[in-house]
């Protein structure tokens, strides 16, 4: 029987949103405005891809979603921090995100900056609190994975090279670096974090790393393609912004058709890496295919 990905994603998305609702600071608590700004962006409609990957990686190893829920929420907090900061006037200066006005448009630049900062800190608070009593060496390794994926050697590093590349011709190697770091690192980090929290063996972790790296690349190529051919109403933000900002993208360097082929190639690589896993990895398999077939 075919795996029901939409049903799977819906259930995991609801679980993650319920957990976020509980774990995020409440608006009635001081500082009210900051907490409101945090909840505004985190609870806005998103795909919850990164937390779902944390859960799916743990499930592939026979563990329950509940065990990794705080880590799943932490990855979403870091992702939303990056979205809020990326939208700021000093970066992309965007007005819409997730179908709503961006955080700084509603709460002002200073509050948006601080909401992002607070989310980054909250992510590590959630993991370190370890409410599910996971062995401490797994928790420390997970903190290391998430920190590395977020910082200079990961997302922030990719963002810097992306900024520096705007308006310039970039080599294939630089484009690959940008995609692997800016977007791929946090996606890979989500898979790795779920696997480590679930007690993956070394061979299991290695295989899941290959999977995570490949879907991370496929995801950003698909994102580049959607910026050219996507539907604004579905995506919740304007399309064509990469071209307008003269950004380094796959369609720009390789054209649409070759970019699609490359995205599919990375998905095939990801699927091959899951060879040794049984049915428990079906959600990971289905997510890999969804990443290049999605329309938002």
Q: For binding to ligand GRG (CB under 6 A), which residues are involved? A: 46-47, 49, 79, 82-83, 85-86, 91, 98, 155-156, 159, 182-183, 220, 223
| CA dihedral over 61, 64, 65, 70, signed as positive or negative | negative
Shortest Å distance, C-beta 138 to ligand GRG = 26
Which one, 192 or 223, has the nearer CB to ligand GRG?
A: 223
Which one, 103 or 159, has the nearer CB to ligand GRG?
A: 159
Which one, 39 or 47, has the nearer CB to ligand GRG?
A: 47
Shortest Å distance, C-beta 209 to ligand GRG = 20
Shortest Å distance, C-beta 235 to ligand GRG = 8
Shortest Å distance, C-beta 169 to ligand GRG = 21
Which one, 123 or 205, has the nearer CB to ligand GRG?
A: 123
Q: Measured between alpha carbons, how far apart are the two ends of the chain, in Å?
A: 26
Which one, 12 or 63, has the nearer CB to ligand GRG?
A: 12
Shortest Å distance, C-beta 200 to ligand GRG = 24
């Amino acid at each position: 029987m075919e795996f029901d990905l939409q049903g799977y994603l819906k259930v995991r998305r609801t679980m993650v949103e319920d957990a976020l609702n509980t774990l995020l600071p409440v608006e009635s608590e001081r500082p009210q405005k900051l907490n409101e700004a945090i909840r505004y962006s985190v609870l806005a409609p998103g795909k919850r891809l990164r937390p779902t990957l944390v859960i799916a990686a743990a499930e592939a190893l026979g563990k329950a979603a509940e065990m990794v829920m705080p880590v799943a929420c932490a990855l979403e907090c870091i992702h939303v921090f990056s979205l809020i900061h990326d939208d700021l006037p000093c970066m992309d200066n965007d007005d819409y995100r997730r179908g709503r006005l961006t955080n700084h448009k509603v709460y002002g630049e200073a509050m948006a900056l601080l909401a992002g900062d607070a989310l980054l800190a909250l992510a590590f608070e959630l993991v370190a609190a370890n409410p599910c009593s996971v062995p401490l060496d797994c928790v420390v390794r997970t903190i290391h994975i998430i920190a590395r994926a977020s910082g200079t050697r990961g997302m922030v590093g990719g963002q810097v090279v992306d900024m520096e590349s705007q308006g310039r011709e970039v080599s294939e190697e630089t484009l690959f670096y940008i995609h692997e770091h800016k977007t791929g690192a946090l996606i890979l980090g989500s898979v790795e974090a779920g696997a480590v929290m679930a007690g993956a063996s070394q061979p299991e972790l290695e295989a899941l790393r290959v999977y995570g790296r490949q879907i991370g690349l496929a995801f950003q190529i698909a994102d580049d393609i959607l910026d050219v051919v996507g539907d604004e109403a579905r995506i919740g933000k304007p399309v064509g912004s990469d071209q307008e900002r003269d950004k380094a993208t796959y369609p720009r360097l390789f054209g649409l058709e070759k970019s699609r082929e490359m995205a599919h190639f990375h998905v095939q690589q990801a699927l091959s890496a899951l060879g040794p896993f049984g049915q428990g990895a079906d959600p990971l398999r289905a997510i890999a295919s969804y990443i290049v077939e999605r329309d938002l």
